[in-house]
Amino acid sequence: MGILSFANLLQQGFSPFPTKQHGSEKLFINYNFKLIKVISSIYSV
């Protein structure tokens, strides 16, 4: 449950970014998803 709310916070975090920068935005979102995977693996232990 905590992981889902954390993911929602991250999604709200990268919504203000301008959609013109497609490449950097994709990179930023990809980095955040990797971060979520790491954090979720820590929480699942």
DSSP 14: T
Q: What is the overall mean pLDDT for the chain?
A: 68
Check whether 42 has a pLDDT greater than 80.
Answer: yes
* Residue 3 in domain: no
pLDDT of res. 35: 84
pTM higher than the cut 0.85: no
Report which of residues 6 and 15 the model is more confident about.
6
Which residues are CB-neighbours of 20 under 8 A, at least 6 positions away? none
Can you say whether residue 28 is alpha, beta or left, with left for phi > 0 and alpha for psi between -120 and 50 degrees?
alpha
Choice between 43 and 27, residue whose per-residue pLDDT is larger: 43
Which residue segment(s) compose the domain that 41 sits in? Answer: 21-45
In the chain, how many domains are there? 1
Whether residue 42 is contained in a domain is answered as: yes
C-alpha 3: how far from chain center: 11
